[in-house]
Amino acid sequence: DVKVTQSSRYLVKRTGEKVFLECVQDMDHENMFWYRQDPGLGLRLIYFSYDVKMKEKGDIPEGYSVSREKKERFSLILESASTNQTSMYLCASSSRGGTAFFGQGTRLTVV
Amino acid sequence: AQSVTQLDSQVPVFEEAPVELRCNYSSSVSVYLFWYVQYPNQGLQLLLKYLSGSTLVKGINGFEAEFNKSQTSFHLRKPSVHISDTAEYFCAVRRTGGGNKLTFGTGTQLKVEL
């Protein structure tokens, strides 16, 4: 089975902190994604990566950056956390043209 | 660009009753279609997908969906729901021809009651 693991299920951070959300997949997938989930808005794509060191902006990249130094790991970085970034963050991976598999999610609260 | 509309934000239904969750999409190119389910405090799990072939697609847990190209719809159905089907359901599309990004609808919360 494909496994996508997000490093934390719950995180509480202070406004202005630099926050790292980590995601690891074990299926040698080329593509990795970060989504944000908010009630009534569904899932919105923040960034995705189609190869090591390659990235593309999604629909809502402002306030976020990403890093993909190794194929299996994709990190989402909040440079200076703000309260409007309180949300559920979901990581996913897929092979090229394949089905996306999701992690369990990280519920981030910024206070 | 693609967009997905899930017309119902919440659907209450009694156990053992049938249910239909509606999904319509808009796209200028051909797309693949997906339904994902999210149980409380969990990530998303693939329920079923339409890539090509028969327009009636069967998925896990007794769910099925029918692709209707003329109506640009991909409604999800189950003939008899169970309490354990209580979850949020997301419809998503991805363009064919090399696209990798999924575009999601806003989700439908299915609540099954006794």
**Mean per-residue pLDDT over chain A, rounded:** 94
Fold held by A4-110: Immunoglobulin-like (2.60.40)
Cβ–Cβ below 8 Å for B42 and A105: yes
For the residues A18-43, what does the mean pLDDT come to?
A: 95
Identity at B61, one-letter amino acid code = N
Nearest to B46 by CA among B65, B59, B55: B59
CB-CB contact of B7 with B28 (8 Å): no
User: By the CB < 8 Å criterion, does B7 face chain A?
Assistant: no
Domain count, chain B: 1
The domain locations on chain A are 4-110
Measured between CA atoms, the residue of chain A closest to residue B40 is A104
Q: Per-residue pLDDT for B99 more than 80?
A: no
Q: Per-residue pLDDT for B97 more than 90?
A: no
CB-CB contact of B59 with B21 (8 Å): no
Could you tell me the CATH number of the domain that includes residue B101?
A: 2.60.40.10
Strand B108-113 relative to strand B87-95: parallel, antiparallel, unpaired? Answer: antiparallel
Render pLDDT for A45-101 as a digit per residue (tens, 0 to 9).
Answer: 999 999 999 999 999 999 999 999 999 999 999 999 999 999 999 999 998 888 899
| 3-state class (DSSP) for residue B45 | strand
Containing structural domain, residue B99? 2-113
Show the tokens assigned to A85: 């970034």
User: Which of A50, A89, A101, A102 should be substituted to probe chain B, the one whose Cβ sees the most B Cβ atoms within 10 Å?
Assistant: A102
* Rounded distance between C-alpha atoms, residue B91 and residue B6, angstroms: 7
Render pLDDT for B34-91 as a digit per residue (tens, 0 to 9).
Answer: 999 999 888 999 999 999 889 999 999 999 999 999 999 999 999 999 999 999 999 9
Q: What pLDDT score was predicted for residue B98?
A: 64
The length of chain A is: 111
Bridge partners, B4 (sequence order):
B25
* Rounded distance between C-alpha atoms, residue A61 and residue A107, angstroms: 18
Q: In this complex, which of B6, B43, B100 lies closest to A102 when CB atoms are compared?
A: B43
CB interface of A with B, residues 4-63, below 8 Å: 4, 31, 33, 35, 40-45, 48, 50, 58
Helix, strand, coil percentages in chain A from 3-state DSSP, rounded to 5: 5, 60, 40
CB interface of B with A, residues 18-47, below 8 Å: 34, 36, 41-46
